[in-house]
């Protein structure tokens, strides 16, 4: 199975890049399943029903939401009805929506997607992501009732992300980090067969400060005033993510490759 994960979409540049390029990549790379992290797709903060629908129309099978999932108020009722949009699973059960699901890929096989939020340096104080993953994995088996399992771990600390990769190695197909917007140079297959990358990077304008026009972040750094306005950068967007081929029998990774398309960074 050929699976593509695209990192955090930031603003219109990121959305336009996904809408423009994903349909072609889906055909040319013979993709069976696509996950898009839409965490910053609506003006740089959260998602709206419209931005999520754009990703589905472009070829995404699942959209994940990250720590900014609650930023746009209209997304809350949409979460309750759209099971292909995931908020982090380790929010309390009373939170709208869900953070996992089993979906049908283009080749007819079943794929589980799990979306988790890290705890280190995050203010949300969510449940333990490791224990949350354990609980979800009790009911599935790769090569049995699901062909592949994808984990989007939306976390700040590289140590927490690499720990999750080691913890789930051999139990899931892919552990890929999101949230920090810069692609890491460590895409690889772990010893027990799980594809891993600490951060997939973002889909957006890289001539920026993590996808935002430099003026706003620089004002914050130089003045220490936390409310300086931040706007997404408006240049051409680059798609960054992780491309994985899995074994249809065991569900583990055969190959994985960090992608930057169409512009090399």
- As annotated, the active-site residues are 68
d(CA 261, CA 23): 13
For residues 49-86, one letter each, b for 16 or more C-beta atoms within 10 angstroms of the residue's C-beta and e for the rest, the string is bebbbbbbebbbbbbbbbbbbbbbeebeebbeebebbb
| DSSP annotation of 35 | E
Peptide bond into 262 cis (omega under 30): yes
Query: Rounded to 5, what percent of the chain is helix, strand, coil?
Result: 25, 30, 45
Give the count of beta carbons closer than 10 Å to the beta carbon of residue 97: 22
d(CA 49, CA 47): 7
Contacts of 58 (CB under 8 A, 6+ apart): 18, 19, 22, 23
| DSSP annotation of 192 | T
CB of 64 closer than 8 Å to CB of 100: no
d(CA 118, CA 171): 19
């Amino acid at each position: 199975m050929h699976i593509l994960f695209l990192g955090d979409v930031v603003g219109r540049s990121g959305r336009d890049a996904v809408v423009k390029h994903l349909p072609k990549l889906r055909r040319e790379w013979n993709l069976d399943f696509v996950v898009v992290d839409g965490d910053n797709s609506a003006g740089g903060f959260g998602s709206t029903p419209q931005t999520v629908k754009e990703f589905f129309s472009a070829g995404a099978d699942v959209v994940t939401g990250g720590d900014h999932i609650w930023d746009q108020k209209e997304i809350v009722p949409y979460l309750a009805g759209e099971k292909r949009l995931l908020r982090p699973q380790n929010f309390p059960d009373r939170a709208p929506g869900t953070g996992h699901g089993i979906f049908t890929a283009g080749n007819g096989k079943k794929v589980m997607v799990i979306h988790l939020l890290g705890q280190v340096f995050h203010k949300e104080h969510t449940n333990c992501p490791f224990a949350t993953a354990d609980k979800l994995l009790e009911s599935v088996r790769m090569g049995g009732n699901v062909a592949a399992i994808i984990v989007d771990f939306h976390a700040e600390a590289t140590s927490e992300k690499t720990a999750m990769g080691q913890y789930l190695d051999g139990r899931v197909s892919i552990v890929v980090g999101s949230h920090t917007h810069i692609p890491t140079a460590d895409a690889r297959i772990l010893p027990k067969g799980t594809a891993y990358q600490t951060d997939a990077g973002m889909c957006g304008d890289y001539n920026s400060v993590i996808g935002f026009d430099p003026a706003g972040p620089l004002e914050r750094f130089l003045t220490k005033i936390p409310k300086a306005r931040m706007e997404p950068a408006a240049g051409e967007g680059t798609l960054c993510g992780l491309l994985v081929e899995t074994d249809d029998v065991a569900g583990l990774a055969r190959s994985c490759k960090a992608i930057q398309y169409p512009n090399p960074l």
